[in-house]
Amino acid sequence: MTNVTSPPPGSTFTPRGVRILKIAVAIMTAILLFGIVALVYGVGQQVSKLGTAGKPVAALVPPARTPYARVLDLGQGTLETVAANGDLVILHWKGEGSDTVLSIDPRNGNELGRIQVPHH
């Protein structure tokens, strides 16, 4: 093997310069691959967070001190009657197009059922 210190004809790189260029390309390729792997890992973590539901806010705070508010979209009308039992609240809403009877769980405010009776 001959030790050539002058660049080949038509080239500005010496063999040492070519060796440094190869090392630089190898390092940049490794950094690029590491970045792609980190990106795929980060996207995977975000997707896994979307699939799992967090705890409801009501479960994080003791029920005795948790006031709740629910918005019921019932349209135009009036509240006719409210009936309450220990485990159930019944609302009768008289709307423009139909009457609606709602059953609500008073412990957490969740709507358990809804019946709509159209006007004739």
Reading the block at residue 15, the tokens are 């063999």
* Nearest-angstrom CA–CA distance, 115 and 102: 7
3-state secondary structure of 94: strand
Q: How buried is 104 (Cβ within 10 angstroms: 0-12 exposed, 13-18 middle, 19+ buried)?
A: buried
Residue with tokens 């691959």: 33
3 within domain boundaries: no
pLDDT tens-place string over residues 75-110: 788 888 888 887 888 888 888 888 889 888 888 778
Residue 75 sits in the same domain as residue 35:
no
Range of the domain at 97: 70-118
Whether 61 has a pLDDT exceeding 70, the answer reads no
Q: pTM for this structure?
A: 0.41
Residue 1 lies in a domain: no
Q: Which residue has the tokens 């423009």?
A: 96
User: How many structural domains are present in the chain?
Assistant: 2
Residues 106 and 74 in one domain: yes
